[in-house]
């Protein structure tokens, strides 16, 4: 009688093992095996991290094994089991791999296909077509779209983390408890002692050092020492934690009536302002999105303020970017002066502080929350709804969706919800952040997520003109490495553009992203979100490669670039005030150091802010970085070779960045692949 050797690997997560009854059924082209009992309670099989083997004897040859069914029947209490994979050695000596990498809960069963990736057209038998269809039907019931706020990208239909499908929950929910993590962070930073003085002001700038934690040779300490300097102010637009707003100025906007007389002392080339603009030496950052946004009113004891500045910057003869004019409101007028480096020291300093505060708000709500977290959740939900586990694009994308829906659900539960932690320290809390996302959705285009295109559209693509833009340089390298990897995988499974057009699951995935996740945004760049209600779709391998690169880059590199520098750049509170307690100045020559300190966050809000940027800047336990794929969803040799090539390309980028950063006082490492997590998970 034919005998099959079945090997079962259990995950190493806490509580991954099981003491329930476990049954196995093999289904082949020539028949189906009997239901075999693999494990009974207290047999000590399927323990955490274990690999167990069994001989399964059948009466007749089953032919080519197509499906494996695993059943778990409860013995005493609910005992979830994390199944990594099953391998089967056939009677003729062939090895088949059946990836799983999911939890089997309650008295559930799971049906697995072998690990070879298949497009819909590759399935010829009815049993495989039916399995594919049932998997998607089941997933679409579990992963439902929901509107959290009008005008937002749609999110998962779950009120809290515990309501999520078990497969996408964090292994340890305490690890992503924002209240617990922020409180722990404040304990680690020794700032809890200031919380009893919540609404009291600091005495002076030096007083902020009392909550500042010095960590040897860090960027944060360099920021504390140099934050007042115009060079440091300008440098952050290129390589801080929000390096996405600066653009080359092609024309001075009418709403910023800067004259040559105002800025002449800042220009170094003996050219007029108009000539400097024509030569590409003037840059602009406009915080217009903040105009009209309501400031936080959740604390009646503390009035908070927002501004919508416009900042003009100049590339000096050293090719460094420095500010030359700041207007703190959008409408010019006598009560909205243009502040200049030649003004009184505290006038100019307060104007720069207002820009830094506005930059912090745009960074947190638009650059970080909307354009990485919420967009990545859309990609994740659409993937689970429209791509079965056997699809090559599911196998390619699933590592980049790890824990994203979970972290966003927890954020909606504790962080950005009404009365959440966001309200405690931020001037855009209490609903302002919601208004910002709704406004920013109008500019959330497909093209704006194509990294090289967005850099070029802002006029920031010339390395010769702007040599110190490391965010651009490293981002392009990582983008190209990801795109090359995506192209390699695409060419393994899609031998022509026609095959791309025929892939109904791919087209449904893209449509789900656009129609549901992105709400059918019309002003969506060069090809929209690639699809529309009119039936447009991805038609070529080239377009597909770019689309997948957008997804993989956004969920990994872009998030890393704007998240993990938060402590470095925002822990020195005057450099990134989360709120301002006095309105923007309406005239020059009146600002004092006392007024500046009184404008900055009070002690309690400073502590909450410091705990937040510390917690958000930490990697997850057992973080998986770009190119690390311990879960082997792919089994084919060509794909594994493509992965090896990808890792080699990433290693070369790491070496280049490491060499460049040597002896730099301000190293830039946020886009070094060994510091880029695969997914948005914090």
Hey, what are 567's tokens?
Answer: 């402590």
Chain centroid to Cα 373, Å, comes to 5
Q: How far apart are CA 221 and CA 206, in angstroms?
A: 13
**Helix 230-239 vs helix 470-493: angle between axes, to the nearest 10 degrees?**
0
Q: Confirm whether residue 39 is marked as ligand binding.
A: yes
Contact, 49 vs 11, CB < 8 A? yes
In the numeric block, the tokens 């709403």 are attached to: 255
**Plot region of 534 (φ>0 → left; ψ -120 to 50 → alpha; else → beta):** alpha
In the numeric block, the tokens 């005992």 are attached to: 79
Q: Confirm whether residue 368 is marked as ligand binding.
A: yes
Q: Which residues is 87 bridged to in the sheet?
A: 7, 97
- The full DSSP string for 632-670 is -----HHHHHHHHHHHHHHHHHHHHHHHHHTT-SS---T
DSSP symbol at 336: B
Compute the radius of gyration of the chain from its Cα atoms: 28
Contact, 10 vs 84, CB < 8 A? yes
Contact, 106 vs 18, CB < 8 A? no
Backbone angles phi, psi at 671, to 5 degrees: -110, 20
Alpha carbon of 570 to those of 65, 126, 193, 371, 664: distances in Å? 56, 58, 21, 19, 20
Contact, 341 vs 618, CB < 8 A? no
Q: Which residues is 527 bridged to in the sheet?
A: 529
Q: Confirm whether residue 589 is marked as ligand binding.
A: no
Q: Confirm whether residue 503 is marked as ligand binding.
A: no
Q: Confirm whether residue 373 is marked as ligand binding.
A: yes
Q: Confirm whether residue 80 is marked as ligand binding.
A: yes
Q: How far apart are CA 230 and CA 204, in angstroms?
A: 21
Q: How far apart are CA 7 and CA 472, in angstroms?
A: 47
In the numeric block, the tokens 């084919």 are attached to: 636
Tallying the residues shown for the chain, one arrives at: 682
Strands (E), 108-244: 109-113, 145-146, 155-156
Q: Which residues is 56 bridged to in the sheet?
A: 4
Q: Confirm whether residue 299 is marked as ligand binding.
A: no
Dihedral sign for Cα 513, 518, 521, 525, please: negative
Q: Is 186 exposed, middle or buried (0-12, 13-18, 19+ CB in 10 A)?
A: buried
In the numeric block, the tokens 């795109």 are attached to: 483
Q: How far apart are CA 402 and CA 479, in angstroms?
A: 20
Q: How many other CB atoms are there within 10 angstroms of residue 666's CB atom?
A: 17
Backbone angles phi, psi at 278, to 5 degrees: -60, -35
Hey, what are 297's tokens?
Answer: 């009113």
Residue numbers belonging to the annotated binding site for Ca(2+): 17, 39, 79-80
Residue numbers belonging to the annotated binding site: 17, 39, 79-80, 368, 373, 559
Residue numbers belonging to the annotated binding site for Fe cation: 368, 373, 559
């Amino acid at each position: 009688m034919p005998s099959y050797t079945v090997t079962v690997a259990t995950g190493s997560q806490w509580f991954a093992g099981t003491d329930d009854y476990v049954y196995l059924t093999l289904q082949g082209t020539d028949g189906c095996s009997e239901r075999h009992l693999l494990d009974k309670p207290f047999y000590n099989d399927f323990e955490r991290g274990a690999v167990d083997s069994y001989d399964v004897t059948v009466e007749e040859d089953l032919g080519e094994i197509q499906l494996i069914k695993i059943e778990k029947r409860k013995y005493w209490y609910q005992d979830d089991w994390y199944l990594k994979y099953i391998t089967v050695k056939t009677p003729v000596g062939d090895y088949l791999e059946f990836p799983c990498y999911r939890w089997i809960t309650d008295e559930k069963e799971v049906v697995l296909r072998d690990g070879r990736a298949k497009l819909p057209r590759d399935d010829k038998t009815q049993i495989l077509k039916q399995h594919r269809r049932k998997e998607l039907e089941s997933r679409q019931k579990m992963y439902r779209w929901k509107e959290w706020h009008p005008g937002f990208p749609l999110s998962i239909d779950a009120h809290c983390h515990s309501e999520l499908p078990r497969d996408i929950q964090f292994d340890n929910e305490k690890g992503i408890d924002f209240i617990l993590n922020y409180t722990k962070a404040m304990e680690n930073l020794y700032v809890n002692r200031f919380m009893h003085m919540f609404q009291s002001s600091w005495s002076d700038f030096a007083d902020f050092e009392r909550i500042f934690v010095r960590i040897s040779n860090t960027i944060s300490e360099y920021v504390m020492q140099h934050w007042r300097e115009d060079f440091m102010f300008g440098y952050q637009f290129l390589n801080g934690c929000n390096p996405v707003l600066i653009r080359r100025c092609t024309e001075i906007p009418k709403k910023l009536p800067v004259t040559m007389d105002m800025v002449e002392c800042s220009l170094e080339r003996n050219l007029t302002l108009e000539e400097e603009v024509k030569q590409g030496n003037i840059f602009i950052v406009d915080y217009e999105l903040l105009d009209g946004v309501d400031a936080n009113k959740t604390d009646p004891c503390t009035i908070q303020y927002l501004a919508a500045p416009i900042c003009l910057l100049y590339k000096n003869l050293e090719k460094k970017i420095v500010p030359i004019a700041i207007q703190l409101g959008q409408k010019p007028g006598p009560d909205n002066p243009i502040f200049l480096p030649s003004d009184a020291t505290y006038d100019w300093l307060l104007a720069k502080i207002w820009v830094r505060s506005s930059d912090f708000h745009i960074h947190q709500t638009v650059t970080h929350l909307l354009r990485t977290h919420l967009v990545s959740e859309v990609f994740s939900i659409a993937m689970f709804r429209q791509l079965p586990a056997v699809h090559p694009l599911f196998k390619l994308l699933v590592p980049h969706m790890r824990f994203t829906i979970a972290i966003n659900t927890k954020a909606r539960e504790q962080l950005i919800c009404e009365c959440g932690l966001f309200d405690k320290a931020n001037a855009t809390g209490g609903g302002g952040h919601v208004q910002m996302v709704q406004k920013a959705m109008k500019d959330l285009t497909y093209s704006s997520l194509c990294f090289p295109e967005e850099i070029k559209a802002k006029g920031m693509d010339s390395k010769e003109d702007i040599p110190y833009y490391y965010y651009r340089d490293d981002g392009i390298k990582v983008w190209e490495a990801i795109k090359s990897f995506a192209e390699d995988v695409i060419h393994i499974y899609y031998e022509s553009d026609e095959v791309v057009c025929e892939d109904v699951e791919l087209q449904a995935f893209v449509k789900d992203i656009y129609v549901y996740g992105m709400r059918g945004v019309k002003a969506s760049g060069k090809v929209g979100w690639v699809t529309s209600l009119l039936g447009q779709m991805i038609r070529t391998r080239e377009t597909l490669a770019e689309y997948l690169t957008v997804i993989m880059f956004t969920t990994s590199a872009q998030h890393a670039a704007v998240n993990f520098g938060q402590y470095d750049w925002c822990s020195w509170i005057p450099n990134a005030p989360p709120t301002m307690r006095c309105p923007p100045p309406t005239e020059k020559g009146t600002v004092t150091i006392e007024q500046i300190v009184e404008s900055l966050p009070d002690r309690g809000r400073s502590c909450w802010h410091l705990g937040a940027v510390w917690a958000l800047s930490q990697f997850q336990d057992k973080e998986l970085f770009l190119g690390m794929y311990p879960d082997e969803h792919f089994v084919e040799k060509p794909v594994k070779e493509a992965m090896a090539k990808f890792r080699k390309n990433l290693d070369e980028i790491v070496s280049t960045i490491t060499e460049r950063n040597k002896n730099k006082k301000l190293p830039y490492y946020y886009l070094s692949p060994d510091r880029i997590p695969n997914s948005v998970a914090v």
